[in-house]
Structure 1
């Protein structure tokens, strides 16, 4: 492909809509997690209660259970996914506004179900946006689409997280959440201008078809179980290293302020750049080559923290290690998201993407659990070396799955 072809894809209506919807998808979670935690603590709510409030995020882990309903029932508006997108976004705006109007001191018992509602609607929005993206983007568009989805989601996360906290220094929380509710208009714009997929998605005839057939269809594929294992393993090394990164840097002697500026701020900027570069390279190379090269770079990037350990508290090395890890990790994420999209069948995309992303979330949770014990027992250099080694099984499986990955998905009649 020539440069003008990349530019044509990047500036298309599909890509603009993908970025807008990604912003909307990443936006709600901080409002029921980090931002809400700061609000609670600023109102002198005890730490035990704040910790328990993390349970309101559980719909994001359970969305696979109602995803079939959103594939089955269509709201008549523009195309099969647009109706659900618009409804969830409008309800999110209303529920975020309502959450901001509650007082943590006198109405905490009302805030919990309202925050749970925001999480449920946010997870539901994710189901339909992920399904739409898998259906509307063609093979050559998935790399750039995954890049813009990553960038848009991070910007949404930044606005409802960092920007909201800055505003809270000068405005009442009620006003902050009202402003945040207005930002859901970004997603509404994406829904209103979202082009229909080339293949119209007809609603399934029965609820059984919506619940059972997405899983049956997937499991009938060649080497379906191996593909699921690959989804579980491809980002394993990255997940293990990432969980212990902040404690490692603190142990190395860096301050919390330095972690915030470099690991979070600079790291996010580099990851966005990595997403854009990864999307362009994916568009040029295709899925198989991208998975190989990005996967290897993602694995090798873990060794920079071994170098950081021996360099000690060195600011230049900190920028280098954080930059390399975030850039290479972002490359791997682009290929991974594009892979998930390719594995979803038109008509079942919402359910199948929810299943695959839930499997990855399970890996992220389970694999991260023993990392503290491993780091204490092995020491930092061996721990980060082990995290790189844990990426090898995924690359080995990629070699065995070469014929299955990247095939055109069938269309659901």
Structure 2
């Protein structure tokens, strides 16, 4: 087996496909800011009551439902633009939809018509989710199997910068020219993905589904991607892993701000440690993830990530037991964000490798929705009650225990060969093979 050096882990960051993944991530991240913290600030400044403001978070639910229409991106050819290719034409159309949705949200007046504002926010969510579908498919298909780890990392770098950059730009422009101008300015963040599609053109790894001529073929276009996925050996086990692997981590993260408030940390301390330190620790974790994915291979890097994410919950149990401690907070936040950044890279690389290149959009939309739905439902319905019943220390110990089934299941999947058998053509077609193990360091 060919040996690998440390430079082999860093070099992919300089290749054009991972750089393109960074630009795609920027465009993917900015719609979140437009209907997230930025919209919350805008509505609050317009004098909208807190109950109504928080209800706008429902606009994010469409992201969990995107698998319902992702098959359209795989199978529907767009007139005229289709000459650019299936993925590039949809990148252009979805980008235009996002720009139109953001402009629409820019022009509504929440004080005059809160219902129109809500509809505009949902429109941004729908357009953003569709943009996400296309971006994820395009990213997976431009990356070779050996680049999946680094490409996932660069995409997350872009997502963070796109989300934070759009949010910051909106605040700066709004202070000087109002919220309408702020949203209009932020629409430019849709351009990096559209330009990337025109730059790299249609992915060489794209595989067109079988041409559909009749109603039966059209109907099969909807459920065909899911049938193909579940026809694989052990597909149900893989789905169970996808559903449960982040339950403990999601439960823990939802309650962190409650913990910090109850421990008496000031707003300045939370801003510095949770936001500033956490942001840079997360970026460091992403960089480490890309390197270790190349060094360790898929199975070992994902197993290590699951262990680290489980252990990171223990750091918050220790902080809760210790009480107000700036060093403890910095250590817990730093470790948790490095683990999450690293884990996000390698786990997303695995999920990307699961896709069949004929159905990349539909299958990754299903996988990404399944990966978050259990954790979000569990956190929204039980987290606060569990903290009140057990206290913070025992709660974070519980979240650690809840993370262990995902660790054990993936270990068994690796040992039994199920991980290798579950990999789709996205993890095998092209240079490299996601199923290969790590080579020794030289």
Indicate the TM-score class for this superposition, using the shorter chain for normalisation: over 0.9
CA distance in 1, matches of 2:5, 2:55: 53
Partner of 2:140: 134
SS in 1 for 2:368: helix
For structure 1, which segment, 219-228 or 31-40, has the greater mean C-alpha deviation from structure 2 after superposition? 31-40
Select which of 19, 24, 28 maps to 1:25: 28
Of residues 226, 230, 233, the one that matches 1:222 is 233
Aligned residue runs from structure 1 range 10-409, under 5 A: 10-75=13-78, 76-204=82-210, 205=212, 206-368=217-379, 369-402=381-414, 403-407=417-421, 408-409=423-424
Q: How many residues align?
A: 413
TM-score, scaled to structure 1: 0.95
Q: CA RMSD in A?
A: 2.0
1:184-220 CA-to-partner distances (Å, cap 9, x unmatched) read: 2222222222353333422442322321111111111
What CA distance in whole angstroms lies between the structure 2 residues aligned with 1:132 and 1:209? Answer: 23
The residue number in structure 1 matching 2:437 is: none
Question: 1:210·1:348 contact (CA, 8 Å) conserved in 2?
Answer: no
TM-score, normalization: structure 2? Answer: 0.89
CA displacement, residues 233-254 of structure 1 (integer Å, 9 cap, x when unaligned) = 2222211111111101111110
CA distance in 1, matches of 2:96, 2:413: 42
SS at match of 2:265: coil
Worse-superposed segment, 79-88 or 256-265: 256-265
Q: Partners of 1:200 and 1:248 in 2: how far apart?
A: 46
Deviates more, 1:137-146 or 1:162-171: 162-171
Unaligned regions of 5+ residues in structure 2, if any? 430-442
Change in CA separation of 1:48 and 1:384 when aligned onto 2, cut-off 3 Å: closer
Query: Can you give the 5+ residue segments of structure 1 that lack an aligned partner in the other structure?
Result: none
Q: Could you tell me whether the CA contact under 8 Å between 1:95 and 1:114 is conserved in 2? A: yes
Mapped contact 1:142–1:283 kept (Cα < 8 A): no
Residue pair 1:342, 1:406 contacting (<8 A) in 2 also: no
CA distance in 2, matches of 1:159, 1:350: 27
